[in-house]
Amino acid sequence: MTWHQSEIRLEPRARGIHLVTSEVVRALPQIGDLRVGMLHLFIQHTSASLSINENADPDVRGDMERWLNRVVPEGAPEFVHTAEGPDDMPAHLKTALTQVQLSVPVMQGKLMLGTWQGIYLFEHRDSAPAREIVLHLTGE
């Protein structure tokens, strides 16, 4: 059994939903050595999240972003936490509605994502810092 753990630092991105599958795969050349395994990803932030979703049509990302912005609007009068700007509390709520961790099976040295699936960073802040994701690879 092989265990490998590392971190990937994603450069700052604009608010939105960004495909990061290739960055994750590049950060883990050890995937190619596995016959069977599991990749677990965990983002170390409370105002960004992860998702596996449609990777072919960019309209999907736009629709998801618009839906999240409608469900959790900036400037809602009930938000008290505004010290870090008007997008901060909505970012925390959007993270709570989405995911901070993912698991992806590995088979014959490849992530077993479906044909139309990709790994996404949901950036919920307007001026976000770089984001760190812990990658934990297990298998044989």
pLDDT of residue 81: 93
pLDDT of residue 29: 95
Task: State the angle between helix axes of 58-71 and 88-97 in degrees (0 to 180), rounded to the nearest 10.
Answer: 110
Which DSSP category does 12 fall into? P
Pair of tokens at residue 51: 């998702």
pLDDT of residue 122: 98
Rounded Cα distance, 33 and 30, in Å: 5
Query: Which amino acid is located at 115 in the chain?
Result: T
Average pLDDT, the chain: 96
pLDDT classification of 12: cutoffs 50, 70, 90? very high
Exposed, middle or buried by CB within 10 Å (0-12, 13-18, 19+), for 66?
exposed
Answer whether 78's CB lies under 8 Å from 93's CB.
Answer: no
* Beta pairing partners, 41: 102, 135
pLDDT tens-digit map of 23-62: 999 999 999 999 999 999 999 999 999 999 999 999 999 9
Answer whether 113's CB lies under 8 Å from 119's CB.
Answer: yes
Domains, the chain, in order of start with CATH, read: 2-139 (2.60.120.460)
pLDDT classification of 17: cutoffs 50, 70, 90? very high
pLDDT tens-digit map of 95-132: 999 999 999 999 999 999 999 999 999 999 999 999 99
Tally Cβ neighbours within 10 Å of residue 81.
9
End-to-end CA distance of the chain: 5
pLDDT of residue 25: 97
The pTM for the full model equals 0.94
pLDDT tens-digit map of 73-92: 999 999 999 889 999 999 99
Pair of tokens at residue 140: 């044989």
